[in-house]
Amino acid sequence: MNYQRLVEIIRERKSYLCVGLDTDPAKIPAGVSMLEFNKAIIDATKPYCVAYKPNIAFYECLGAEGWEILEETVKYIGNDHFTIADAKRGDIGNTSTYYAKTFFETYGFDSVTVAPYMGKDSVQPFLAFENKWAIVLALTSNPGAMDFQLFQQGDKKLFEEVLEKVSTWGTPENTMYVVGATRADMLADIRKIVPNHFLLVPGVGAQGGSLEEVAKYGMNENVGLLVNASRSILYASNGSDFASAAEKEAKSIQLAMAATL
Active site residues: 88
Burial class (CB in 10 A: 0-12, 13-18, 19+), 101: middle
φ, ψ of residue 54 in degrees (nearest 5):
-65, 130
Residues facing residue 55 across a β-bridge = 86
Say how many CA atoms lie within 13 Å of 210 toward its Cβ: 11
